[in-house]
């Protein structure tokens, strides 16, 4: 196999791939169609950035000069009894629907998630009392150090609140196996419907471009509660605002830039810090080149992750 055999685009405008609808020009982006192509790219490209649903990121309006691998075409999913085997690019709602079709419970929380299995495992995504780590059996990953495919059992994944082993950069998820529980389809559907209704009432839909929760919950507290009590719903910046129904969401109201979003995040962060002396940690990641102001803001709000 040669790299040129794999679908790729140069000088690619990534803006419309992100759920924030913000981003610049990427030097080169690859779209592997299967695990073989993905592994080949990982073995050949130095320090690639891996993107799935682009739902938890602020992509720089200045773009990115490196190479990116998008997993969106790796969306094969299989059901074997109570086990589900999914490639890293499978979207959350697709996994949830597949589980429902097979009368399997455990994926109801993902019905409204825009992200992929890869991203969800990386950040140990969860909602409504369910986490993706609850049902994981093992992860199929590529070891960037040894350059080989390995399987990691659940107890090796170092799961925590919005944490996993995948965040250290050594292992890249290729696919995963889950074990769910049999349940009446109607019960599964009812829970999925309740989850969708909750998201509809509390969280902005992607018709209002956003990247999900802005900040992680601090220990024994809620970021949304702190932000709300601090009065951040009144805050805005050019082309962006805090979502009126939930203080831990930002929506793109026009032609927002990455700097516009960071400015608003900084205002939210500073307001809570001054009100409660609590420094919230962003859940949304920043990717790409930074201008001077973006560099200044990132040094402040990403202090914990840069240590």
Identified catalytic residue from 158, 279, 281, 283: 283
- The structure tokens listed for 65 are 């000069």
283 is catalytic: yes
213 is catalytic: yes
Identified catalytic residue from 70, 164, 213, 258: 213
Separation in Å, CA 306 to CA 142, 219, 285, 303:
24, 19, 12, 5
170 is catalytic: no
Nearest to 132 by CA among 160, 100, 168, 103: 160
d(CA 14, CA 59): 8
Residue 217 DSSP symbol: P
Task: Collect contacts of 153-162 with beta carbons under 8 A, ≥24 apart.
Answer: 157/121, 157/133, 159/124, 159/131, 159/133, 160/124, 161/124, 161/216, 161/217, 162/123, 162/124, 162/125, 162/216, 162/283
Residue pair 56/250 in contact by the 8 Å Cβ criterion: no
Identified catalytic residue from 162, 177, 259, 294: 162
Residues 6 or more apart from 87 whose CB is under 8 A from it? 35, 71, 74, 75, 76, 77, 117, 174, 175
Q: How far is C-alpha 46 from the chain's CA centre?
A: 22
**Chain length of the chain:** 307
Alpha helices (H) along the chain: 35-44, 92-101, 117-122, 185-202, 223-229, 258-276, 292-301
Question: Which residue has tokens 């649903």?
Answer: 53
Which DSSP string corresponds to 280-291?
--BSSEEES---
Return the active site residues: 162, 213, 283
């Amino acid at each position: 196999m040669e790299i040129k055999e794999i679908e790729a685009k140069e000088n690619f405008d990534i803006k419309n791939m992100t759920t924030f609808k913000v981003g610049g020009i990427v030097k080169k982006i690859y779209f592997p169609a299967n695990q073989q192509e993905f592994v080949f790219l990982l073995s050949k490209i130095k320090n690639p950035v891996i993107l799935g649903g682009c739902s938890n990121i602020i992509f720089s309006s200045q773009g990115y000069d490196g190479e990116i691998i998008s997993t969106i075409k790796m969306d094969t999913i299989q059901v074997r009894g109570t086990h589900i085997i999914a490639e890293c690019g499978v979207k959350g709602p697709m996994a949830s629907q597949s589980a429902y079709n097979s009368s399997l419970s455990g994926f109801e929380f993902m019905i409204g998630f825009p992200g992929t299995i890869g991203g969800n495992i990386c950040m140990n995504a969860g909602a409504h009392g369910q986490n993706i780590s609850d049902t994981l059996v093992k992860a199929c990953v590529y070891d960037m150090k040894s350059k080989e495919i390995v399987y990691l059992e659940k107890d090796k994944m170092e799961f925590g609140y919005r944490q996993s082993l995948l965040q250290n950069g050594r292992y890249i998820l290729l696919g995963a196996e889950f074990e769910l529980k049999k349940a009446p389809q109607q019960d599964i559907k009812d829970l999925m419907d309740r989850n969708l209704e909750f998201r509809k009432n509390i969280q902005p839909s992607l018709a209002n471009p956003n990247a999900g929760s802005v900040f992680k919950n601090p220990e024994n507290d809620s970021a949304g509660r702190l932000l709300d009590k601090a009065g951040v719903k009144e805050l805005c910046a050019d082309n962006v605002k805090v979502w009126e129904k939930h203080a831990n969401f930002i929506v793109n109201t026009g032609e927002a830039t990455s700097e516009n979003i960071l400015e608003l995040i900084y205002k939210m962060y500073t307001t809570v810090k001054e009100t409660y002396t609590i420094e919230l940690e962003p859940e949304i990641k920043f990717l790409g080149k930074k201008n001077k102001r973006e560099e200044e803001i990132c040094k402040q709000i990403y202090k914990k992750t840069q240590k």
